[in-house]
């Protein structure tokens, strides 16, 4: 019998999604107004323990607005990771600012030690401004991406940000539900430690609204400005008076209805993903040349994506592995091409990009949906165990 196709990451829509969406339709609140939008914002803020939240069209628009409300302009530079999805970096260019690319550490998130080294040795701190010695421009902010639901070393990163007066924008688009379980930030969720944080509800995320995103912060003034900008910057809603250039970045009531139903199941999704991660990890560790990358030991991750590391002692390399698993009806994907090597960013400044290049060539993401069955996991493991005869 032919094995069913096992996708990489797909939505899990088995809660109150239909009930809430149908209610939104029946009440005819389907667009960017409606009670579900406000409720979803409130529930996300409550869940991550932030002082407020502003919904938006997607994670990318959220990052764009986050940069704007943090005061980044075309005169500035922003430190960004090279190992990330390109949507974490493109908003820097939307504003006209320039990115500076930073390496990752073994968490796949930004290398906090290299970040500190760069700020200390390649920049000058003058009158409360961090000036890049090479470009003579001010570095205004850091975009930190919590890759695959892991957490960057926020203790070190926030220390650097405090020392050099940098805004910290947390791209937590992959990390809703991840939080510190130990240390200085114990109990703090990904997205709530820096100046401002952004979540994504794309179809492959741990919860989905089809599209959609959310901006969170403990700075209510930043949130008010974010709301203003995402709703076309209306200073007078009755007479349609606009005081600056705004954006149509609003989430619809239909999306928010879906999101509320998904949020109700988030902890259940995380538990399933944790169990499957541990099952993968236990058995993959028995296979010569393969391992599942760890999450930080001082966090409760959301286990969004599982990263399979392929050593040279395994009979297949990265590309051969993906091709082989696809032939067995198992979908995988490689890590994103490093952004500093992408055509739009050739020539931008980078700092000691080394570790990211290693992981790029050795990591494959394997199926991790929150509705993935244990038998599916076992099948993938068996494929990995016997690549020559499964």
> Are 234 and 319 members of one domain?
no
- Of 263, 297, 320, which residue constitutes the final position of a domain? 263
* Cβ count within 10 A of residue 5: 11
- DSSP SS3 for 139: strand
pLDDT at 3: 75
- Of 263, 283, 298, which residue constitutes the final position of a domain? 263
> Are 49 and 172 members of one domain?
yes
Total count of domains within the chain: 2
Whether 291 is in a domain gets the answer yes
Q: What does the pLDDT look like over 7-18, one tens digit per residue?
A: 999 999 999 999
- Give the separation between CA 7 and CA 367, rounded to whole angstroms: 6
> Are 231 and 280 members of one domain?
no
Whether 85 is in a domain gets the answer yes
Whether 9 is in a domain gets the answer no
Whether 106 is in a domain gets the answer yes
pLDDT at 390: 45
pLDDT at 1: 43
> Can you give the residue range of the structural domain that contains 184?
17-263
pLDDT at 33: 83
Whether 12 is in a domain gets the answer no
Q: For the residues of 92-130, what is the DSSP string, one character each?
A: HHHHT-EEEEE-B-TTSSB-HHHHHHHHHHSEEEETTEE
> Domain holding 158: CATH number?
3.40.640.10
Whether 83 is in a domain gets the answer yes
Whether 2 is in a domain gets the answer no
- Of 263, 289, 320, which residue constitutes the final position of a domain? 263
Structure tokens at 333: 């994907």
Q: Which value, in Å, is the radius of gyration of the alpha carbons in the chain?
A: 21
Give every residue of the chain whose pLDDT is below 50, as ranges: 1, 390
* Cβ count within 10 A of residue 323: 11
> Are 77 and 209 members of one domain?
yes
Whether 49 is in a domain gets the answer yes
194 Cβ neighbours under 8 A, 6+ residues apart? 142, 144, 154, 157, 158, 161, 167, 168, 169, 170
- Give the separation between CA 234 and CA 228, rounded to whole angstroms: 7
Q: Answer whether 119's CB lies under 8 Å from 140's CB.
A: no
> Domain holding 333: CATH number?
3.90.1150.10
């Amino acid at each position: 019998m032919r094995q069913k196709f096992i996708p990489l990451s797909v939505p899990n829509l088995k809660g109150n999604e239909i009930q809430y969406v149908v209610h939104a339709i029946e009440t005819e609140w389907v667009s960017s107004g409606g009670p579900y939008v406000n409720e979803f914002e409130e529930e996300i803020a409550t869940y991550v323990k932030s002082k407020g939240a502003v919904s938006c069209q997607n994670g990318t628009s959220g990052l764009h607005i986050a940069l704007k409300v943090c005061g980044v302009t075309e005169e500035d530079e922003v430190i960004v990771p090279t190992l990330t999805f390109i949507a974490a970096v493109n908003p820097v260019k939307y504003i006209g600012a320039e990115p500076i690319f930073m390496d990752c550490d073994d968490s796949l998130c930004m290398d906090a030690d290299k970040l500190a080294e760069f700020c200390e040795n390649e920049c000058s701190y003058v009158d409360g401004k961090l000036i890049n010695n090479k470009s003579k421009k001010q570095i205004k902010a850091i975009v930190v991406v919590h890759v695959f639901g892991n957490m960057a070393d926020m203790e070190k990163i926030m220390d650097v940000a405090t020392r050099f007066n940098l805004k910290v924008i947390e791209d937590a688009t992959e990390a809703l539900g991840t939080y510190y379980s130990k240390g200085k930030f114990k109990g703090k969720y990904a997205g709530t430690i820096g100046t401002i944080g952004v979540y994504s509800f794309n179809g492959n995320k741990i919860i989905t609204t089809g599209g959609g995103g959310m901006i969170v912060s403990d700075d209510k003034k930043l949130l008010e400005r974010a709301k203003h900008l995402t709703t076309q910057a209306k200073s007078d809603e009755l007479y349609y008076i606009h005081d600056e250039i705004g954006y149509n970045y609003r989430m619809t009531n239909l999306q928010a209805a879906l999101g509320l139903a998904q949020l109700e199941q988030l902890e259940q999704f995380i538990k399933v993903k944790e169990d499957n991660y541990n099952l993968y990890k236990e058995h993959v560790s028995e296979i010569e040349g393969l391992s599942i990358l760890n999450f930080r030991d001082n966090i409760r991750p959301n286990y969004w994506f599982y990263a399979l590391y392929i050593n040279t002692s395994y009979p297949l390399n990265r590309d051969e592995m993906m091709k082989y698993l696809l032939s067995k009806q198992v979908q995988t994907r490689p890590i994103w091409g490093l952004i500093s090597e992408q055509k739009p960013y050739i020539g931008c400044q980078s700092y000691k990009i080394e570790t990211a290049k290693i992981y790029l060539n050795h990591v494959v993401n394997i199926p991790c949906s929150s509705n993935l069955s244990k038998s599916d996991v076992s099948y993938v493991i068996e494929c990995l165990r016997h690549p020559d005869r499964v």
